[in-house]
Homo-oligomer: A and B are copies of this chain.
Amino acid sequence: MKLNNIKSKEILPGLNGRMIHGDSITWAFWNIEEGSEVPEHKHVHEQIMHVQEGKFKFTLNGNTEVYGPNTYVVIPSNVPHSGVALTNCKIMDVFSPVREEYR
């Protein structure tokens, strides 16, 4: 299966993602425009974020860091988090269980 055959969805302004869904995993491949913001939120799904390209300022439970290429963050269930793209970014997120609202 080719990633490019998955239609990209704009989940928030400037935050476009291709999603792969299994039975218990969602894998999101994001292209994020500089300046795009993800407001603070939380969800029952465990999440692991991996920055491939760009700089993403990310706040997890009140702690802010700038993440660049080859970094990752484990975001436990129900812990509040938010972010802003300091540059254009390519980021992957993996979730379990599936993010049904991303289908």
A2 / chain B contacts, CB cutoff of 8 Å: 70-71
Q: Tell whether A66 is near chain B: CB-to-CB under 8 Å.
A: no
Binds B, one of A16-24, A34-42, A80-88: A16-24
**Among candidates B24, B25, B72, B97, residue contacting A20 with C-beta atoms closer than 8 Å:** B72
Q: Is the interface of A mostly helix, strand, loop or mixed?
A: strand
A76 / chain B contacts, CB cutoff of 8 Å: 22-23
A-B pairs, 7 with minimum CB distance? A96-B96, A24-B96, A3-B70, A22-B46, A22-B74, A25-B96, A94-B94
Beyond A3-B71, A4-B70, A22-B74, 14 additional contacts (C-beta under 8 Å) are: A1-B72, A1-B73, A20-B48, A22-B76, A22-B96, A24-B97, A25-B25, A25-B46, A25-B95, A25-B96, A27-B72, A27-B94, A94-B94, A96-B96
